[in-house]
Amino acid sequence: EVQLLESGGRLVQPGGSLRLSCVASGFTFNNYAMNWVRQAPGKGLEWVSEISGGGGTTNYADSVKGRFTISRDNPKNTVYLQMSGLRAEDTAVYYCAKDDRHFPTDGFMDVWGRGTTVIVSS
Amino acid sequence: QSVLTQPPSVSGAPGQRVTISCTGSSSNIGARFDVHWYQQLPGTAPKLLIYGNNNRPSGVPDRFSGSKSGTSASLAITGLQAEDEADYYCQSYDSSLGLSGYVFGTGTKVTVL
């Protein structure tokens, strides 16, 4: 069974840092790009970042560019989101989502994790 | 900031047909990038509903269908059922100056009367 399991979300103060993790199982991890998507309380989905299957290509939404870094460890079947300079508006459920292709362009997200909650507040 | 616009809500009685529009621009849907749809039941993660404009993953009922034309796309639900009450999001890819990546629609809440 294809599964994604996120972890690492917690309460953090404004300006703080946090690293989210997503462990994948049930598919050949390095064959697929991976994404992070977030959803603020009561709001819609917002794509955050993507990384190619080999890890050599990354892309970010303008709202997080320069503050968040996506990476992956293929032998560990894990994708990470390192978040720094956190703001109240980063408060959201963060979902890890598998892309349908190796290189993230014109694709879709066919498997989603259950999400991990990040709250940025003093 | 969403670049794909959807109506905030649509509603219908059981058995009826409802449609959800998704309006983009020349840098996303109009640039021939595919449109995909997700269903999010209350309190759960999104689930892929339609991919590649009009394809259903295994297990998705054929009551759900998608279409695309020009800079817009639509999701249709025929024979509306109580279990279809959820939020629906369209998604595409955007490639314009200063922005390149996935984009989601604003989301539409479907209510079954």
- pLDDT tens digits, one per residue of A23-33: 999 999 999 99
Average pLDDT score, chain B: 95
- pLDDT higher than threshold 90 for residue B100: no
Mean pLDDT, to the nearest integer, of A35-60?
A: 96
Contact B70, B78 (CB under 8 A): no
Q: Does A10 touch chain B (CB under 8 A)?
A: no
Any idea of the CA torsion for A8, A13, A16, A17, to the nearest 10 degrees? Answer: 0
Q: Which of A45, A59, A62 sits opposite B89 (nearest CB)?
A: A45
- pLDDT higher than threshold 80 for residue B98: no
DSSP A11: E
H-run or E-run covering A22: strand A18-25
Q: Which of B95, B93, B46 is nearest to B73 (CA)?
A: B93
Q: Which of A37, A59, A115 sits opposite B100 (nearest CB)?
A: A59
B34, B88, B102, best to mutate vs chain A, most A CBs in 10 Å: B102
- pLDDT tens digits, one per residue of A8-27: 999 999 999 999 999 999 99
Q: Does B51 touch chain A (CB under 8 A)?
A: yes
- pLDDT tens digits, one per residue of A79-102: 999 999 999 999 999 999 999 998
pLDDT at residue number B1: 57
- Rounded Cα distance, B3 and B8, in Å: 14
Instruction: Report chain B's C-alpha Rg in angstroms.
Output: 14
Q: Does B59 touch chain A (CB under 8 A)?
A: no
- pLDDT higher than threshold 80 for residue A74: yes
DSSP A45: E
pLDDT at residue number A104: 78
Q: Which of A95, A100, A110 sits opposite B45 (nearest CB)?
A: A95
Mean pLDDT, to the nearest integer, of A50-63?
A: 95
- Rounded Cα distance, A23 and B10, in Å: 36
Q: Does A1 touch chain B (CB under 8 A)?
A: no
What is the rounded end-to-end Cα distance, in angstroms, of chain A?
40
Please report which confidence band the pLDDT of residue B3 belongs to, taking 50, 70 and 90 as the band edges.
confident
Contact A72, A79 (CB under 8 A): yes
